[in-house]
Structures are given as C-alpha cells and as structure tokens.
Structure 1
Amino acid sequence: MTVVHPTPPPRSPLGRAYAEQASWSTPAGHPTAATTPAGHPTAAARDSATLTLAYRGRFLDGPAFLSGTERRAVARDLRTIHDLLRTLPERAFGGSLAALADAVGMTPRQTALITRSARTGSLVPLGRADLYHDGSGFRLLEFNITSALGGFENADVNRAMLAYPPLRDFVDRHRLRYTDTVAGMVRTMYAECAATIPADRPPVVAVLDTVENFAVVGPRLAVLAAKLADHGVEGIACHPGQLSFPNGRPTVAGRAVDVVFRYFLAEDLADPASAAQLEPLLVAVEQGRVGLFSRLDAEVYGNKGALAMLSDDRLRDLFDADERACVDRILPWTRYVRPRVTDPGGTGVDVLRYARSRQDELVLKPTLLHGGSGIVAGWQVTGAEWEARVGAAVDGPFVLQHRVRPAAEPFPDGTGGVRDHYLNWGIYLGDHAVVGADGYAGCFLRGSTEPTVGVVSLGDGALVGCAFHDD
C-alpha cells in the first residue's frame, strides 16, 4: 500500500494568495508588463537612484508576508536570545566583558578598545537577525548586533513595490503594513545617546566608517545621512580623516558633531592604522564630548562565537527552562571548532571525525567576519577541501553550524508565472519601548532560486526584497 503524505501548507497563505493573483494580474506577454512604470512590480525600484546604487536592479518580483502571530513569535524569541547574549559576561565569565571578547576570538587590541567603549553611555538593543525558515519555524543563523546594519533601504523597497497597482490593492485589501527600519534606528540613537543630543535643535550626526571602507561604501553612507533628515537629524557621511577635534570635540564640514553613527566594525579595529585614526574619537567619547552609536561592545554580543555559547549543551545550566526552550527552538546546533565537541545529543566527539561524517550537514564560519565572508558550506566542496578547512580552523576563531534548509517561498516571476525562492530573512530588532510593542523593526529579504544554496547573500548573487505584515 502506498502512503501518500499530504503536502504541507505554505508558510504564508498570504504569500501563496499574492503569488497566484500576480500570475494572472500581469500574464506573460501582457502589453503593460514592461512598458509602463506601474506595469511591473520592480519598475519603481529600478527607477530609484537610491535603490539602484544599493542593489543594481536585483529585486525579487514581489514581497514576502509575515502574519502578526509569526512576527510576534520571532520577535519574542529574538529578544530572549539578545538578552542571553547581553548577559553572557555575568552568566559565564564572572562579569568580565574582556574575558568574553577573548573567548570569541577578538585580539588584545580589539578587546581593549571594546572594553573602553563599554564604560560610556548605554547600549540599547538594536540588531538584524539573519534567519532561514525551514518550513516549521525560523532558525537563527547570525545576529548582527550593531549600528552598522546593511539593508537599511528596506522601507524604500516597500514603497517602490506599492507603486505596482495589483500589490497596492492586495496590501490595502488585507490591511497590511511595513516598518521603517531607519526610523527605528534613529529612535534607538536618541535613546542611547541622550546625554549628547541637544534639546533645542536637530542633532548633527556623523555617519562614519574607516578611510579604507569609506572609499567603497561612502555613497551608501551618504544616502543614509540624507535619509536621517526625514527624521529630524542632520547627517554627514565621512571618514576619520575628515574629522578635526578643536577643544576635543569632533567637527566635520565646519559642524560640531553631537553623535557619531558608527559603521566601522570590530574587525576593522584589528588594523593598527585604523585603530590609530579612531583614537581621538574614542577619547572624545570617553570624555562625554560626543555620543557613539552604537557602543563598540555591541560587536562582542553579535559575534558568532557568542551564539555558539548559547548552543553548547555544557552551558545549558546557565539558562532557565524558558530560555533553553527558546534556544532549542530557534538556534541550530553551533559549536566552536575545538578538538572535541559535543554532538546534538550531548556526547563528546572528535571534531574532525564528526565533521567528516556530517559534511553535507555542516557549515564552517569565521566568528569575526561578516557578509558571508569566509563561510564554507560542506556540501559545496570536496571531501579533501572540507577536511583541510576544518582542520585548519581547529582552536581558531571559527564555528561549525548545522545546515538549515530554507523552505521554498512562492514569488511571482515577473512574466505571469510563479517561481520558488529560498530566503534569508533579515529581521531587525530594537528595544520594544523604543521601536514598538514587540521590538520588530522591519525586514530585509535576500532570495535565491537555488534549493541547495549555501549562503543566501548579495555576494552570492541573491535578489533583494521586502516584507509586509499584518497585526
């Protein structure tokens, strides 16, 4: 007797309904499909200079959708994970942030700079979680806890998509909305840097990256600086070489700076030249002459090695029952690459033997890099290369993580059909008292049509999209 298993329901009934509607609202060969601004769902996005600068016309042919229940549940889990990460120094290192920084692989120079930053101001929750949905729930791959968040143009993608009449009608009919991430970032900056933000005028905010990085991302940072004006902030994109410090306070383009919106990362601080260029700024921050958003110690909590600590069963006694349930629900098995690790059942195993036997189910990740840099998916390399890469990572700043297979999500293909994509959900989280009741601060999508994708990232050719949600 043949057993027929029912097809699982789609993650998002709204997504399926919209994809099916789009397949007949703009059929293949329809005369408006590519000839009028409103005739294609990506037309307005492609016409946007801001979005073209960021994404070069690489857009999904529609949005994704989150139900209110999904949104609240994932935001609740991410808040729990954020709280666990923020309390790791107290729970596991006797209150020492420096010990945590050392444990996650930061250099002595990075650790010294980070611990100095932690003595200034406050650190209000802000980050972007990168997740796959495996068909049963969201699974957390990385948690970027920092102010240097990519994808900040996400609300512009939402607005551009709404220029397409069938989508606008669908959104209106289902009473959907979206969240502006930049607005949440600005509110977080006000909360974190209240001591240096003037009450009688708009603050002057320097959107700052290192000299080397600014040569590449300067135009994007100029966009962010301009967008801050929509939220009552005077933004100026710059690098440390453009700062001067009369009377110890940073000045740029003739304007005294109230807050530095940080786009450099902890990995940049490993370079002695970059660290030296930033030293006058860090002194000004310590002296209370300027705010730094966000504090440098955010980088420690957003490190992949810190996630490995939450996953490690040897630390489970540090968490209560609800916290353990959250970790089990959202975080895949993640371990530092050490000679011996514990497997998902808690049994000690040789890491190289375990990695060889599970090559098709594991991903090797450096703890200190971002944007998919340095990641090796076991199923995409030969056995010899995999063994060599894992062997070289032993006792270094690397983690192994169990593979998460993203479930297919239906999208209109732009020509009257439907095509599956596999999504990296970039869900932004803020403090619920600052950005809203559940802490959800927007969503940035990257999608691939490859079902065996290793990393759904812009560097690997992913398309970009946005999400709408209901309440």
Structure 2
Amino acid sequence: MTVTRPPHLHRSPLGHAYVEHLAGAAGAGDPTAAARESAALTLAYRDRFLAGPAFLGDAERRTVAGDLRTIYDLLRSLPDRIFGGSLAALAEAVGMSGQQTALITRSARTGSLVPLGRADLYHDGTAFSLLEFNITSALGGFENADLNRAMLTFAPLREFVTRHRLGYRDTLACMARTMLAECATAVPAGRPPVVAVLDTVDNFAVIGPRLRVFAAKLAEHGIEGIACHPGQLTYPNGRPTVAGRTVDIVYRYFLAEDLADPASVAELEPLLAAADQGKVGLFSRLDAEIYGNKATLAMLSDDRHRALFDAAELACVDRLLPWTRYVRPRTTDPGGSDVDLLRYAVAHRDDLVLKPTLLHGGSGIVAGWQVDPARWQADLTAAMDGPYVLQRRIRPAAEPFPDGAGGAQDLYLNWGIYLGDVDVVGEDGYAGCFVRGSTDPAVGVVSLGAGAAVGSAFHES
C-alpha cells in the first residue's frame, strides 16, 4: 500500500516515511499501549497520546536551537540595551507589581542564572515561528524521555528509529544538570544533594501528585528529591528542612505570578531569606521569568528597538518571531507604518491573537478569528494600556500522522522545544522536545487544556 502525499504536507519527510512504513505493518498492535499503562504518563497527559511521534531533521533542529540561543541571549540583554541596566525597570515594563519587582530584583543579586527554557512554536510549512518562550524551572515535560521509551516498545517505530538513526534527548536529565550547575555552590560533597521540589500551598493541592513523580525521578540522576509545599518546611539554624532532611536546593515550581499574592509571599519569605543568605540553593532564580514574559518578545519585535541589534540578531528576530506588539493606542504595523492599534486590530481580527503577559498555560488568550467582532473590540478596549500583547497569527501546516486505525490524518502541532546551556546539556543546547497535536486547522491554542493530544519527538542524530 502506498500512502499518497498531499502537496501541502512537505515539512517532514520522515513523517511521511513513517506513515508509509506503518502501511506495511498492519496488525502490529497499539502504539500507545505502553504509554497508557504508565501511571506517570497518564497522570501528566490525561491518557491523550498521539499514535506516532513527530520528527525533526538534523538541519532544522540545529537551526531552531541556534535561533533560540540567539533569542535567549537577546532577552537577557534587554535590561542593558533598553533600560540602562535596570532589571527593576524591565520588570515594571512587563507588568510586574511593585511587590513582584522587589522580590525578583532581590533574587537576582544571588548566584547565577543558567539558560533553561521551553519554546512553544508553530511550523507554517516553511519555518518555525516562536509563539512564547517559557524561561523558568517550572516547565513540565520532565516525562518526555519516558514517552519516547514507551513509544519505542511499538516494534514498527523501533525499527524505523533504528533504520534512520534517530534519537531523543532526556529533558529531565537536562533539567537536573542545569539545576546542579546553577546551584553549584549548594551541592554537597560526598553525598547526593537533597532537593525539595516545591510549589505554593494552593498549587500543591492540585499538582502535588505530579511533583511527587518528579521528585522520585530525580533519583535516576543521583539526587534525593522530596515534593512539598512551604507549610512543610521548617528552618532550624536558618536552613530549610523537610521530612527530617536538610534541604540543599529548592527546585522552584511556583511562578512569578504567584508572587502577586500576599499570602503566598508570606509563606515563601523564610525560604527566600534563606536563599538570600546562601543557606539553600534556589532554582531557577526568580528573575528568569522576566525574560520569558510575552512582553519581552514585543520588545524584540518593536521597530523602535531595531537600531539596538546587529544584522545577525535582526535576521534571527525576523526569521523566528512573528509581529508582536504591546496593546497601546499607537504602534507600527508589519510594514513599519504608524497606525492606530485598535483600528488596525479590528480590521485584521482574523490574523491576530491577544495575549496577557503575566499568565501561562494559554490562560486569557483570545484568538481573533474565534470570536465575533463585538467581543474582539471589547477585549481589545479592555486590554488597552494593560499587560497585554497582540501577536500575528501563525497558521500551522498540516503534518502527517498515523491515526491509530491503519490510516493517516493531518495534525496541527505546537512544538515544545527545550533549550539549555551548551556547556551543560551538550551539542547545540537542544534539550528535548514534545508536541501537542490538534485536528483543527483553525486552532487557536494547541494545548492539552484545549483538547490536544501529546506526542513524543525524535530527531536525526
């Protein structure tokens, strides 16, 4: 049986080859069976698994990893390039409150900040486009290698991966190495470090089971992990202790947005004080999320700042980043002309997405083509001069995937590509990948919350 290749499905030759490979392996079984039998994977991904993986060619992997390294460096340079070296000014510009700004700038005075992040990208059939860059320790995706291993129990995929010399990166291993590098002064000699995987009391009530999985898996990397919340910590001699164990490093799962809540800040203050005093390592440093804020992408995209970047940096921004602007009365359109933003956005509703800068996980995002004109105008008016950005819509190209029933289907993917420090994770900083797939070609946000399924990713190695 030969699978016809629709002409628009051209990004992934390996994807086409795998669909054709499966055509000769009818009756081989359920490719997602091992994933469904894994308690950790079903806890993380709600028993929604794609029937096959995504594939990255060697050249495109190296290109996107290189571009993401450039974007990361540009984001880290924003305080110096735009705000006279003031991290506080950047924090205020992205919408942080006074309390958040004070805590974040206080944290930035201690230790180092080693690159770690997950880029969310769409591929339009020609190139990747960066939608968001999540720069923090609380990334999720630590089960990615488990998903790859589970999928490899399916014999046809295992044969295909071997034949084409494909591989994958262990995202959790990259996270663990990054944590130990960033908190090197807190790593004890002669014994495994004790790491508290910590979120706020309220958040832990929801995601505690998954954090316990994370903590247990750290043992695979020579780390003793304990999942907990601030109410479970005590501070004899000023050092945090949990379950009778003195903590060397706290792996932070709470976010900067949690620091807007006075109750959460009060819970965390003893920990932050211990980190200030060098009595515990805190990973990642609180200022990491400023650089991953959606508003910083608007700063890179803003025509007013183009003179601050050299030719190679501008080429990377233009290649990877779609038009992104603060929601302000006046702006420049994609052609560089000064326009009334509200009028422009109303006229181009089908091609724009409205995003809050301080939320995560797709919360608060409004896709213009999914709402009526009156709702769109009302949302824009409410967002004006607030912590919101507008971004040009990227239409993801269809990708060929097995449908689990012996045929093929078109899926539209959100690529979650992890980036680490080259000296820590090796190669080009590529730290693994997973995808979320939707069957809806007009999808607004491809996410688990919006009904997508998750898949592993393999790359040419």
Q: Structure 1 length as normaliser, TM-score?
A: 0.96
In the aligned structure 2, how far is the partner of 1:372 from the partner of 1:384?
Answer: 22
Asked whether the equivalents of residues 23 and 412 of structure 1 are also in contact (C-alpha less than 8 Å), the reply is no
2:32 to 39, 42, 62: 42
> Is 1:360–2:350 an aligned residue pair?
yes
Q: CA RMSD in A?
A: 0.9
Q: CA deviation at 1:8?
A: 5.0
Distance 2:268 2:7 in 1: 56
Whether contact under 8 Å (1:20, 1:418) holds in the other structure is: no
Name 1:179's counterpart in structure 2. Answer: 169
Query: Counterpart amino acid of 1:231?
Result: H
Q: Once the two structures are superposed, what CA deviation does each residue of 1:55-110 show, in whole Å capped at 9, x if it has no partner?
A: 12100000011111111000000000000000100000000000000000000010
Indicate the residue corresponding to 1:132 in structure 2. Answer: 122
Q: Do 2:356 and 2:388's aligned partners in 1 also have CA atoms closer than 8 Å?
A: yes
Q: Partner of 2:208 in structure 1?
A: 218
Match of 2:134 in 1: 144
2:443 is aligned, of 440, 450, 453, to: 453
Query: 1: distance between equivalents of 2:287 and 2:193?
Result: 24
Contact 2:114 2:178 in 1 (8 A): yes
The structure 1 segments of at least 4 consecutive aligned residues displaced by more than 4 Å after TM superposition are none
CA–CA distance in 1 between the matches of 2:225 and 2:346?
A: 50
Q: CA deviation at 1:219?
A: 0.4
| Equivalent residue number for residue 409 of structure 1 | 399
Structure 2 match to 1:36? none
TM-aligned CA deviation for residue 7 of structure 1: 3.0
Q: CA deviation at 1:23?
A: 3.1
Structure 2: distance between partners of 1:23 and 1:335: 46
Q: Provide the rounded CA distance (Å) in 1 between the counterparts of 2:189 and 2:10.
A: 49
Alignment of 1:89 onto 2:79: yes
User: Partners in 1 of 2:377 and 2:187 — Cα distance?
Assistant: 52
TM-score normalised according to structure 2 size: 0.98
Where does 1:311-330 land on structure 2 (aligned, <5 Å)? Answer: 311-330=301-320
Pairs within 5 Å for 1:59-458: 59-458=49-448
Letter in 1 for 2:409: R
- Tell whether the 8 Å contact from 1:424 to 1:445 is kept in structure 2 after alignment: yes
Contact 2:412 2:438 in 1 (8 A): yes
Separation in 2, partners of 1:150, 1:20: 32
Aligned residue number for residue 35 of structure 1: none
Task: Report sequence identity in percent.
Answer: 76
Query: What amino acid is the match of 2:51?
Result: D
CA contact (8 A) 2:8 2:398 kept: no
Maintained 8 Å contact 1:41/1:61: yes
Match in the other structure for 1:7: 7
Task: Report the residue type matching 1:13 in the other structure.
Answer: P
Contact 2:32 2:151 in 1 (8 A): yes
Q: Aligned partners of 1:245 and 1:445: how far apart in 2?
A: 41
For structure 1, the residue ranges without an aligned partner over 5 or more in a row are 1-5, 33-38
CA distance in 2, matches of 1:449, 1:12: 17
| 1:185-232 CA distance string (max 9 Å, x none) | 111011100011112110000000000000000000001001100000
Secondary structure at the counterpart of residue 322 of structure 2: coil
AA partner of residue 24 (structure 2): W
Q: Which whole-Å deviations, capped at 9, do the CAs of 1:311-345 have from their partners, x for residues lacking one?
A: 00110011000000000000000000001111011
Letter in 2 for 1:300: I
Distance in 2, Cα, partners of 1:8 & 1:285: 52
Aligned-partner Cα distance in 1 for 2:149–2:303: 44
Instruction: Report if the CA contact (8 A) 1:24-1:416 is conserved.
Output: no
Q: Distance in 2 between matches of 1:110 and 1:469?
A: 39
Shift in CA distance, 147/326, structure 1 to aligned 2, threshold 3 Å = same
Q: Aligned partner of 1:137: which letter?
A: A
Please list every run of 5 or more consecutive structure 2 residues that lacks an aligned counterpart in the other structure.
1-5
Count of residue correspondences: 456
Kept after mapping to 1: 8 A contact 2:9/2:125? no
